[in-house]
Amino acid sequence: MINEFWFMDGYNIYIWPSYILTFFILIFLTFRSIYLSKKAKKMLKKLEELNS
């Protein structure tokens, strides 16, 4: 049963890379956006401190 799920009648070498690539892109987009957001917030805080 599990073997059949992973093997997918021999199409596994096409199916799994498609899903891995998709989730790599989704995860990359999430982490990059969160990182840039945090970086910008930190920068704003620093500048506001300097300005006050």
- By CB under 8 A, name the binding residues for another protein: 5, 8-9, 11, 14-15, 17-19, 21-22, 25-26, 28-30, 33-34, 36-37, 40-41, 43-44, 47-48, 50-51
Tokens of 10: 């021999």
Q: Tell me how far, at minimum, the Cβ of 47 lies from another protein, in Å.
A: 4
Element (H, E) at 40: helix 12-51
Angstrom distance (rounded) from CA 35 to CA 31: 6
Query: Residue 4 carries which DSSP code?
Result: H
By beta-carbon proximity to another protein, the closer residue of 3 and 19 is 19
Q: Tell me how far, at minimum, the Cβ of 45 lies from another protein, in Å.
A: 10
